[in-house]
Chain A
Amino acid sequence: MNIALLIIFAFLLLSFYSGIRARQGKDMNMEQWTVGGRGFGSIFIFLLVAGEIYTTFTFLGGSGWAYSKGAPSYYVLSYISLAYVISYWLLPPIWRYAKEHKLVSQSDFFVSKYNSPMLGILVAAVGVIAIIPYLVLQFKGLGIIVSEASYGTISPAAAVWLGVIAVTIYVMLSGIHGSAWTAAIKDIMIFFVVVFLGIYLPYHYYGGIQPMFAAVHAANPGFLTFPTEGLSTSWYISTVLITVFGFYMWPHTFGSVFSAKNENVFRKNTIMLPLYTLMLLFVFFVGFTAILQVPGLKGADGDLSLLRLSLKTFDPWIVGIIGAAGLLTALVPGSMLLMTGATLLAKNVYKVMAPATSDVQIAKVAKLLVPVLSLISLYFTLSGGDTLVTLLLMGYSLVTQLFPALLFSLGKQPLVNKYGAFAGIAAGVLTVAYTTVSQATLATLFPHWPSVIQDLNIGVVALLVNIVVMFGVTITTKPLFVNGQQAANTEGTPTFK
């Protein structure tokens, strides 16, 4: 075992230790395990929210896309900042309602608002299905980090196995308290590592940021701006909007909203969080520097660019620290994702089907589901060849389908009824599934339309289908429920006027 791997393992053990410590002296009932007893202030929420967003994706996927696609990678900066803007208005009402009704999961929110456990099952299912590509992304990242840092002695597949086992143990040990503490260590480390790499590497190889960009521009003109077709500005705008709407629809992000102490925590955080996204800038610098220094990484291998360049440039111990930071960026979000997925399945699917189950048993079922979800994601990790960005966008187009039903439920009375919400979400998700499987884009569906429309993210279509079906079904089912209250009484005894 080399020094790089030793450092990575030391950090892994440290995070296990902090996970166990954080849990001591706390009675881990469901509310403790999942929403931390609703006692987290600004700084913890900041770390949790930041912790979820700055994942292996940021680290490896961001640099990977800058390396292989160029300018389109900038979309990441925009969507995260704009999502924080929306959160100022979106999160306080969600938090207030969740607190009043003692909700612990995203699915609970829909169940309560629309008074429909069936809708809860659908929302939980969409959430868990979307979580899988996001988990695959983290595991893939872990695999890349460990196998690269081993200088080829550990195969990527073995590295993925190690990573999955580590994350699973970590979640089962600690729940959310562990996540928050490790998130603190992780955020400090990733910040310094990324800023260091983003400044050092361009200066080392090119003598500055601008000379680096100029060299990339000279080698490949057009790489530093959005292309006129394909990943064009119209792709950029539509993708940013879709991901902004989806941002808080991730079950784990939605869930971490519940753990805040009061609603002003969110309002305050919207000031600092956009600045925090600037860290991504340094990740992009690394990706752009790698283009001419470690050329030839094709397709999904673009995600290796940051580590390949680091291996070429630094001594093993620095590679170890970079790898350790990378490990934490996969561990923290990975553990949140696993925990949320397991809780959703236990509470909003299993419990609905077996209502007699006690809360203690539900918590046990949730813990047992953690390794099950890990293994499912492990299977997809080892079988798929997508880039990290592709996986992320796939998950996003799914969770975004929950946004309309959420938005329309925020008023005193939901704008649409439970049938509309159910049908809309289902239609949106099926549209995403169809376009993913058939690889359809607007360009293949409408080959003669102008590229401004062809380049739109296909998620826009799914969202439109979703909203149209939602209102359509609401309107057609309305006659069954004349005057709200009467509905229950007259159901089954149709009266004709």
Chain B
Amino acid sequence: MKARDWLGVVPFIGMLGGVPFVNRVEPYVLGMPFVLFWIVLWVVLTSVIMAVIHQLDPATKEEESSS
């Protein structure tokens, strides 16, 4: 596995590994209890991480031109 592929593990660590440590209501962020905000934050970060992986992946360039 390339370093780029390992990036895909990060959302799992954040969204699953992080939750036991942030399982509380206070402080509210954007109106949401903290644990919900944490999960939402990671949904957004997941999207960002996938965009980065997509950018770095040569496979996504090749086929764009061939199709």
Contact = CB atoms under 8 A, between A and B. Distances in A.
Interface of A: 71, 74, 77-78, 81-82, 84-86, 88-89, 92, 208-210, 213-214, 217, 224-226, 233-234, 236-237, 240-241, 261-264, 267-268, 270-272, 274-275, 277-278, 281, 284
A221 to B, nearest CB: 8
Given A81-B42, A217-B25, A264-B64, 8 more contacts: A84-B46, A88-B8, A89-B8, A210-B31, A226-B35, A234-B20, A274-B44, A274-B50
21 contacts: A71-B36, A77-B39, A78-B43, A81-B11, A82-B46, A85-B50, A88-B53, A92-B59, A208-B31, A209-B31, A213-B28, A224-B33, A234-B20, A236-B19, A263-B59, A263-B63, A264-B59, A264-B60, A271-B50, A274-B47, A275-B43
Given A77-B39, A213-B28, A225-B23, A262 B67 contact: yes
Main secondary structure of the interface of A (DSSP, over half): helix
A267 B58 CA distance: 12
Given A270-B54, A271-B51, A71 B35 contact: yes
A209 B60 contact: no
A491 B63 CA distance: 44
A145 B60 CA distance: 43
Nearest to A70: B33
Given A71-B35, A224-B33, A82 B12 contact: yes
A225 B35 contact: yes
B50 A82 contact: no
A272 B33 contact: no
B51 to A, nearest CB: 5
Contact of B54 (A77, A224, A268): A268
Contacts of A217: 25, 33
A261 B42 CA distance: 30
A271 B43 contact: no
Interface in B12-67: 12, 15-17, 19-20, 23-25, 28, 30-33, 35-36, 39-40, 42-44, 46-47, 49-51, 53-54, 57, 59-60, 63-64, 67
B42 A225 contact: no
A275 B50 CA distance: 11
A224 B44 contact: no
A300 to B, nearest CB: 24
B54 to A, nearest CB: 6
Main secondary structure of the interface of B (DSSP, over half): helix
B19 A233 contact: yes
A214 B12 CA distance: 29
A210 B8 contact: no
B10 to A, nearest CB: 9
Contacts of B17: 237
Nearest to B55: A271
Given A77-B39, A85-B8, A267 B54 contact: yes
A271 B56 CA distance: 13
Nearest to A41: B67
A81 B23 contact: no
Contacts of B63: 262-264
Contact of B12 (A74, A85, A271): A85
B15 A210 contact: no
Contacts of A210: 28, 31-32
Contact of A272 (B31, B47, B59): B47
Nearest to A452: B20
Nearest to A216: B33
B16 A237 contact: yes
A404 B11 CA distance: 22
A274 B39 CA distance: 12
Contacts of B39: 74, 77-78
A275 B23 contact: no
Query: 4 closest Cβ contacts across the A-B interface?
Result: A209-B31, A210-B31, A233-B20, A224-B33
Contact of B31 (A213, A241, A263): A213
A278 B53 CA distance: 21
A274 B5 contact: no
B2 to A, nearest CB: 11
A225 B67 CA distance: 48
Contacts of B12: 82, 85
B31 A233 contact: no
Contact of B40 (A82, A92, A262, A278): A278
A85 B5 CA distance: 10
